[in-house]
Chain A
């Protein structure tokens, strides 16, 4: 049943978007240039050496971060990716995920700190995060496309927006969860708020913040496939192609590569978060 009134929300959004693209064109161009060059640089770094060299490096990182089991697992997993002929796509996607994650973390941690220190900031940021996280991810792609044109950049931007929320939330949660008495002790001995943040709140909130970073990475990976729709390429590109050709085989091969990347990134970042606390209590 159609109501007898119509809110022209869609029109407003389009008008707003038009205004944005015309007035902030220079800004978008700058963002695009920065993101493209960062992505190209990282992609080159991952693609230029032979695949086995990269695998050795990744396995070494996994070993160092967690242990020999993850190291071996990583080597096997990446060999599987090579085996299903998804190496190039996987490296594309990895570059996209890394760039998006770095930007998302750089934005979300300060936002989380701000939200933790001010109840008002928290009250404003929370609904915005809810909006960003629950809005169907593909919806971001349209304005991103308009603003940044087809290619890898709208994919990165949409990924950043979609994956930022847990970074902010976990940072706020982590800092608010720091033992109040320890923070109070900082104040009681006459330390300044910025020093208390650096010396007490951030170190103590680190495991929680790292869990947030881990979540950011996971969400970025899940966006990789969707980013494929706007020509971001990588594993997403193959998944979208397999969908349009109804090619289950290709879809599965690209899919398994996503899963392997996800497990590698998750385990490595998770152990970064817990290592600090483990070392402390073992020593």
Chain B
């Protein structure tokens, strides 16, 4: 039996919802080290005092420290979200990443180039070829058509007119604006205008995309749609995206990793699950309180070890004994390599035992679809309600990695630790066969084992 060894591994627990197989470790798209940005009269003095331990509120007479000692690395193909309230310095931080603001101190390395050390001309080349940007209020040129706006990045790169318009047309189709190229931005809705902004950034064909509160000015429904489309586009185009937002739900939905900023400082960097389940301090904890957990937490993150597991080769008698010992009415069936096969009910197994059969395979039920560890809890409630037994969690390789009883879903919503072992792991929606009956049946057929 596996129940004692079947602990949830840390790896499966921290799989973020959007991490795809394209993530390549140790491949850094952009790195920021010890960046300070101070506005005001005496920036150097402000940094000196900040390093000496002063708080930024004590130094307002000398200057305003918008970004304080920010360091992080963004991996290629990652969606890295910087989240913070207004005034937290996130917009300033993102503008140091493409040199719109030069950092007062520290370095920003984009694709191997330290952009704080290069000339204006070289910086323009970096912006043209490596890093593009999407703006909060779209920042489209009102005197140009949608197509011309989408082609703007290519125009700056010096691509010939016919070529750039053709390429921009393709990108417009990609973002769902087919046939809108001849219109002017003012004729489009906000969501569509931002699609143009996105098309303009995508047409530049840079590896890195900066998005500054890109969806904040949109209606909630449109925003949701754009978020989903962005995730989809990202998985197709494998861009590195640095996304700024003040909306925690958005951060949790989009981010492979999230950096939480407060008063110019990054207070925590982690996956959405990490931020949610182990906040670095009270500020982050208070911040994540209102997040919609069902969208962030995944089956893999909250699942329990599957206790009621029987091995196919163990036969009906072993299966029945396990179910009797655990006082459950059903169990998951796996093969020797722990591949998930289905479920068995105690009544069916009992019949097999009483019929002196050693075949467990014929009573396996396949009616319960296993769920993948990446599934958001949001999508599991309906299935949990319909299923009489816990939902089996099965990874991409087909192995059973855990189980999701309804009580675990509830516990996850209330942020109560649920892997205590005190909860019966298998629901008792169907009463198990009384213990004595099972023991009798087993005793009667002793010779079969």
Interface string of B117-143 (1 = CB under 8 A from A): 000000111111100110111111111
- Decide yes or no whether B15 CB sits under 8 A from chain A: no
- Decide yes or no whether B100 CB sits under 8 A from chain A: yes
- Decide yes or no whether A283 CB sits under 8 A from chain B: yes
The stretch among B25-33, B149-157, B359-367, B389-397 that forms the contact with chain A is B149-157
Q: A181-B135, A190-B156 are in contact. Are A280 and B184 (CB under 8 A)?
A: yes
Q: A189-B156, A280-B142 are in contact. Are A181 and B127 (CB under 8 A)?
A: no
Bound-state Cα–Cα, A181 to B139, Å: 5
Asked if A184 contacts B139 (CB within 8 A), the reply is yes
Bound-state Cα–Cα, A200 to B98, Å: 20
Asked if B135 contacts A189 (CB within 8 A), the reply is no
Q: Which A180-225 residues have a C-beta within 8 angstroms of B?
A: 181-182, 184-192, 195, 199-200, 203-204
Chain B residue at smallest Cβ distance from A281: B186
Interface size bracket, A side: 20 to 34
For residue A190, which residues in chain B have a CB less than 8 angstroms away from its CB? Answer: 123-129, 156-157
Main SS at interface, chain A: helix
Asked if A185 contacts B184 (CB within 8 A), the reply is no
For residue A276, which residues in chain B have a CB less than 8 angstroms away from its CB? Answer: 143
Asked if A182 contacts B141 (CB within 8 A), the reply is yes
Asked if A181 contacts B128 (CB within 8 A), the reply is no
Tally of contact residues, B, Cβ under 8 A? 30
Interface string of B133-175 (1 = CB under 8 A from A): 1011111111100000000110011000000000000000000
- Decide yes or no whether B204 CB sits under 8 A from chain A: yes
Query: Shortest CB–CB separation between residue B269 and chain A, in angstroms?
Result: 25
Bound-state Cα–Cα, A283 to B183, Å: 8
- Decide yes or no whether A247 CB sits under 8 A from chain B: no
Bound-state Cα–Cα, A204 to B140, Å: 11
Set B133, B140, B142: member contacting A188, Cβ < 8 A? B133
For residue B100, which residues in chain A have a CB less than 8 angstroms away from its CB? Answer: 184, 187-188
Chain B residue at smallest Cβ distance from A193: B120
For residue B204, which residues in chain A have a CB less than 8 angstroms away from its CB? Answer: 189
- Decide yes or no whether A179 CB sits under 8 A from chain B: yes
Query: Shortest CB–CB separation between residue A180 and chain B, in angstroms?
Result: 9
Bound-state Cα–Cα, A182 to B149, Å: 11
Chain B residue at smallest Cβ distance from A179: B139
Query: Shortest CB–CB separation between residue B348 and chain A, in angstroms?
Result: 65
Question: A residues touching B (Cβ–Cβ < 8 Å)?
Answer: 179, 181-182, 184-192, 195, 199-200, 203-204, 276, 280-281, 283
